Amino acid sequence: MWHDFPGGILVNKRLCFAFAALLAVPGVLLGQDTSQAQAAPANPITASEKGLYSFVSGAVVAAAQKMPEENYSFKPTPDVRSFGQLVGHVADANYNFCALAAGEANPAKGIEKTKTSKADLVAAIKDAVAYCNKTFDNMTDAKGSQMTKFMNFNMAKLTLLSLNTAHSDEHYGNMVTYLRIKGIVPPTSENPPPQAPK
């Protein structure tokens, strides 16, 4: 709700609350136990990237599992991918990005074009995520800073893995819409994320 104050200033109560919450974040972070900073992993950038990838890829796999088989061919409009094609596309991209970051030949291609059943696509996305997790397990911050070619760009290997996470998250957003249209609660809306261990 907007309020007009003297002097012509429009203020939104929610916006003010959000701004105040943002201002409080640095104080909360500074008040945390400094032993967390001392216990940083050997490869903090790689570990951080893998943590984010694990969350996003877990959401994609859960969405693929949640959608019923009969809705795998569903398209909200004729000019977009079906739900099943989205799952296959994300699997293909995971293999492509992670193989490039690992410096290996892509071990699986054409999933979106060749697989249509829910069982095959869920298995494919799980396998693709496992492949990317193996890539992360073999990565270090030093290796991740090595440059590789992606399309017409020179890119650090960890940036390539970050791009994969962003791409997966982008299409998880599409999957959420498809699930909602079918009256299904998306995985990330079911339960709040677990508390981080202290």
Look at residue 21 in the predicted model and tell me its pLDDT: 45
pLDDT bin (cut points 50, 70, 90) of residue 41 is: confident
Confidence of residue 38 (pLDDT cuts 50, 70, 90): low
SS (H, E, C) the chain: CEEEECCCEEEEHHHHHHHHHHHHHHHHHHCCCCHHHHCCCCCHHHHHHHHHHHHHHHHHHHHHHHCCHHHCCCCCCCCCCCHHHHHHHHHHHHHHHHHHHHCCCCCCCCHHHHCCCHHHHHHHHHHHHHHHHHHHHCCCHHHHCCEEEECCEEEEHHHHHHHHHHHHHHHHHHHHHHHHHCCCCCHHHHCCCCCCCC
Would you place residue 198 in the very low, low, confident or very high pLDDT band (cuts 50, 70, 90)? low
Q: How confident is residue 145, by pLDDT bands cut at 50, 70 and 90?
A: very high
Is the pLDDT score of 148 beyond 90? yes
| Range in 37-41, 122-126, 137-141, 169-173 the model is least confident about | 37-41
